[in-house]
Amino acid sequence: MAGVGMPASGLMMATPLQATTHQLHQQQEWVPSLIAKRIASWKYIARVLQGGTVLYNTALVSENEMRQLWSEEKMQRRSLSFFFLGTSLASILEIPNTIDCIKALNQVLQEYESFLAAEARSKSIFSIRKGNTDLKPFEETTEYSHLDVRNMPFNLDYVITASTLCDMVGQVYEKLRLQLLHEHVWPLITLEAFQKVDARFKKILMMVYKEIEAVAREVMVQELNTMDPLGLSASTFNYDDFE
């Protein structure tokens, strides 16, 4: 991705590795290209979250606009989960062996998904049984081997936390790219493990991207309504007419 005008298709639609052994053998050449696209994607989203970058040459979204549309209360749980994942990835970057590193990445992402599922259940329980002091937060009752879960004495800023996580994931892919350059070819066990890791990271990337895109659309609607001499209100404006 050379500039801010990179199309969404180039950012999000990198060709995935296939699941069968035969296809994994044939698609060794896809790995460097896929990793390079992931690095570009994560770093681009990090820059957008930091403000000052035009999203696909359509809308300039500032940090303040993102904070206004992503309320602190709504995004606080997300901020915590992103913080836990980001700090956990930092320690995994120190693992020198490629397969051990990728296995650790897969484990921490599995634990991250388990954490999110348990947090969702915990939130549902608390909403039904408010005031029950016997119920403990999930992070106090579950242990992880790789996910670094801790109690936070203060609230986190979602925009800063999300952009930092994107930068950290970009560093993870950069580490894998350098290791692949050194090793030239990965064995099948490494490719299969990498495929699982990449699929899990892509889910997070797509979620963040779609939320940023929604904010950009809202900013565009507000700008068009401001310029409209007839005073068209946001409630009657249909963005789909411009797609």
How many whole angstroms from its chain centre is CA 61? Answer: 18
Q: Is the pLDDT of residue 193 over 90?
A: yes
What is d(CA 48, CA 163) in angstroms, rounded to the nearest whole number? Answer: 8
Token digits for 146?
């790789």
Backbone angles phi, psi at 54, to 5 degrees: -75, 125
For 166, residues 6+ apart whose C-beta sits below 8 A from its C-beta are 42, 43, 45, 46, 49, 208
Note the pLDDT tens digit of each residue in 78-88: 899 999 999 99
Amino acid at the residue 129 = R
How many whole angstroms from its chain centre is CA 106? Answer: 15
- Closest by CA position to 43, among listed 158, 154, 196, 208: 208
Could you tell me the pTM of the whole model? 0.75
The residues that bridge with 54 in the sheet, in sequence order, are: 60
Assign 55 to helix, strand or coil. Answer: strand
Note the pLDDT tens digit of each residue in 93-144: 999 999 999 999 999 999 999 999 887 776 644 443 344 434 344 444 467 8
From residue 100, alpha-carbon distances to 23, 109, 180, 182, 227 in Å are 23, 14, 14, 16, 56
Confidence label for 195 from pLDDT (cuts 50, 70 and 90): very high
- pLDDT, greater one: 105 or 59: 105
Lowest-pLDDT range, 150-164, 184-198, 226-240? 226-240
Site of tokens 């963005």: 239
Do residues 16 and 199 touch, judged by C-beta distance below 8 A? yes
- Closest by CA position to 149, among listed 117, 123, 115: 115
Domain ranges of the chain: 37-62+74-224
- Closest by CA position to 108, among listed 186, 44, 174, 172: 172
